[in-house]
Amino acid sequence: MNTFARQAAAGKSTSAYTPSTRVMMAISEQITAEDYYKAQQVRTQVMDQVGQLFNKVDLILLPTTAITAPELPQKAFAYGMSDTVKTTHSMVYVTMANFTGLPAVTVPAGFYNNKPVGLQLYGEWWNEALLLRMAKVCEKAPGIERKHPEKQWFGHVLDDAQKP
């Protein structure tokens, strides 16, 4: 990601990136080729173990995040926000899919304290059809309330983008 971000900013200052992005770019520049090679070895071992797990199960069901949706300060919408703890907690359950390339999908599971809760399904590599069928079943489950927040709702941006 750092390589792409650097290329996109070629000849320009990276000051257009948010401070948190610039911090991550600086950290990633410290990674050596040996670090990358060792990470790929670990990735291969994890993929082997996950492959063995899918000999016993068809899908893995996890929460989408380890925390409920955090409150965002108003300034975050204009300037961005960097909160490593919240970011880590919100990403903890997606790490395995990102690291191993497992297909995954998140489905709504309701609300807790008026904040959305999701479930994440992992499927085996190349078995997206099963994953999507199960996501459809979950989406149609009775009793799952559908609503959007009263404030800071940006869903209309996506709705407008899909209009012909």
- Tell me what percent of the residues of the chain surpass a pLDDT of 90: 26
Residues 6+ apart with CB under 8 A from 95: none
- Comparison of pLDDT for 78 and 43, the residue scoring more: 43
The residue with tokens 């599971």 is 109
Give me 74's structure tokens. 């108003």
**Residue 80 pLDDT exceeds 80:** no
Of 5-19, 105-119, 141-155, least confident by mean pLDDT is 141-155
pLDDT at site 154: 57
Q: Is 159 exposed, middle or buried (0-12, 13-18, 19+ CB in 10 A)?
A: exposed
pLDDT of res. 52: 93
User: What is the C-alpha to C-alpha distance for residues 37 and 93, in angstroms, rounded to an integer?
Assistant: 24
Residue 13 scores a pLDDT above 80: no
Residue 152 pLDDT: 58
Does the structure show a pLDDT above 80 at 14? no
pLDDT of 5 strictly over 80: no
Q: Is the pLDDT of residue 153 over 70?
A: no
29 vs 124, higher pLDDT? 124
Question: How many Å apart are CA 66 and CA 88, to the nearest integer?
Answer: 9
Question: Of 152, 5, 4, 150, nearest to 78 (Cα)?
Answer: 152
Q: Average per-residue pLDDT in the chain?
A: 80
Domain extents in the chain: 46-142
What would the pLDDT profile of 33-75 be if each residue is shown by its tens digit? Answer: 899 899 899 999 999 999 999 999 999 988 888 888 777 777 7
The predicted pLDDT at position 116 comes to 81
Look at residue 56 in the predicted model and tell me its pLDDT. 94
Quote the pLDDT of residue 155.
Answer: 53
